Amino acid sequence: MKLETEDTFIRNCLSRIESELGWGEAQEWSTQDFETLSRRIMEKTHVQLSIITLKRMWGRIRYESKPTITTLNTLAQFIGFENWRAFKQHAPSPIRADVGANAAKEESSKTKSDLRIKRRKPVAIFAILGLVCAAITILLYITSFDTPRPALDPSKFTFSRKKMVEEGVPNSVIFDYNATAAKATDSVFIQQSWDKRRSTQISRDQFQHTSIYYHPGFFQAKLRINDEVVQEHDLLIKTKGWLPLVDLKPVPVYFKEADILNDGFIGLPLNRIIQNNIPLQPGTPWVGYYNVGDFGDIKSDDVIFETEIRNEYSDGAAACQHAEVHVLFEGATMVIPLSVPGCVSELNLGDLSGKKLDLSPLGVDFSKWVKVKFTVRDSLVQVFINDKKAFDLKAQMTPVRLSGMIYRFQGTGSVNSIRISRHNGDVTYEEDFDLKQ
């Protein structure tokens, strides 16, 4: 009975997804439909379910095993529930509908005279019995799921990493792990960073997995069992000075530091992008300048970061002239987004959304150099644009070291100067890109 009820809940969940999508019967869906569903699930839940997994769920590919709890949690989250348990507790029970359907089927097979004589009493009895069975089954399920699942013991899992090269990208990282303490029904993942979308499902019975990192930065790689992180490791992918790249999928196009060095500023010329056969329209790619490594003992509770930038491309799809300044810390990143004034609705500053709040101070005139400054003292973060205070924010975190900076421009852009200091006046890093020095 338990397996039958679980299957019924699964069918109910899939039926609800079909209804919400409005694409008709799943048996008529194309591979492209499953691709679109996979993408929508990832956008909403930040978990990637493959096309094969989805086809198995809908019976388009024969598969005897039961779906993992991670798959069921993700499908439940896609239709608005916290997890699979919540779906089964709060979704309308499909069992009552099945009982009614069976009763109707039996009724239709009877003659009119049978219906006149026996219609009321037997149907009432079957309906009552069906409702009682449904209530008992649901009660058993709720009782069983109210029992908390034992927390995983992190000490029973091991997780370590080794970079193939000390500096530079691409950089393959070998992860050694032991996840045999997980159950056979658990899903085991290695997550490259804080972003769940960068997760790869691995075998609990194997002990090594290799990931490739295409971008420099500070990452916290995680060993995850279902949705629970049991082990994690800090990982710093360094650069050798400045690394410029055009952010294309699946692999960025890398340039040399010399390509962006100019007297007094850094910037990737448009002709260098065009020479590499990178189209700028109709979708304008992002250009990034990365500098990740050792910046001394300056920490997130006492830092002043000052810079000047300019976005120099505004054609076609790049009319908003989006730009971002990222300051990397060990385990946290401060991102300051900018655009022309008409596009501030698309910006997000931390948890602040331009769709809901006034982020107009982040709308700037990129025909001139734009001064960007942010300061952190204890837990108070202040953002300044062109010497005017734009925002006061709160940051609750343990002080951690600064590990780098990233500049990103839609199209291309330039950086005029950088200065990092403490509130007592100590300057720990300064760059004006003067080639004559």
Closest by CA position to 190, among listed 181, 179, 127: 179
Radius of gyration of the chain measured on its C-alpha atoms: 28
| Mean pLDDT for the stretch of residues 145-168 | 79
Amino acid in the structure at residue 47: V
Rounded percentage of the chain residues whose pLDDT exceeds 70: 84
Instruction: Classify residue 277 as left (phi > 0), alpha (psi -120 to 50) or beta.
Output: left
How high is the mean pLDDT of the chain?
Answer: 84
Q: Report the C-alpha gap between 437 and 376 in whole angstroms.
A: 31
**pLDDT at position 31, please?**
84
Threshold 0.85, pTM exceeds:
no
| Mean pLDDT for the stretch of residues 94-109 | 39
**pLDDT at position 125, please?**
54
The CATH code belonging to domain 243-431 is 2.60.120.200
| Mean pLDDT for the stretch of residues 44-58 | 85
pLDDT at 94 over 90: no
Give the confidence band of 131 by pLDDT, cuts at 50, 70, 90.
Answer: low
pLDDT at 139 over 80: no
**pLDDT at position 86, please?**
86
Give the confidence band of 399 by pLDDT, cuts at 50, 70, 90.
Answer: confident
| Mean pLDDT for the stretch of residues 400-415 | 96
Is residue 313 within 8 A of residue 410, CB to CB? The reply is yes
Give the confidence band of 343 by pLDDT, cuts at 50, 70, 90.
Answer: very high
pLDDT tens column, 211-258: 999 999 999 999 999 989 999 989 999 999 999 999 998 899 999 999
Q: Which of 112-121, 287-296, 353-362, 365-374 comes out lowest in average pLDDT?
A: 112-121
**pLDDT at position 142, please?**
40
Selection from 53-62, 125-134, 289-298 with the highest mean pLDDT: 289-298
To which H or E segment does residue 402 belong? Answer: strand 402-410
Fold of 154-237: Immunoglobulin-like (2.60.40)
pLDDT at 128 over 80: no
| Mean pLDDT for the stretch of residues 302-330 | 96
**pLDDT at position 315, please?**
95
pLDDT at 148 over 60: no
Q: CA triplet 321, 327, 332: central angle to 5 degrees?
A: 120
**pLDDT at position 91, please?**
67
C-alpha distances in Å from residue 212, one per residue of 164, 206, 242: 10, 19, 20
| Mean pLDDT for the stretch of residues 70-80 | 90
Closest by CA position to 211, among listed 219, 243, 52: 219
**pLDDT at position 35, please?**
82
Torsion of CA 195, 197, 199, 201, to 10 degrees: 150
Quickly tell me which residue has 């994690």 as its tokens: 232
pLDDT at 3 over 60: no
- Sequence spans of domains, the chain: 2-90, 94-146, 154-237, 243-431
**pLDDT at position 19, please?**
86
pLDDT tens column, 173-195: 999 999 999 998 899 999 998 88
**pLDDT at position 108, please?**
43
**pLDDT at position 75, please?**
93
**pLDDT at position 267, please?**
97
Q: Residue 113 in 3-state DSSP?
A: helix
Torsion of CA 43, 410, 191, 232, to 10 degrees: -130
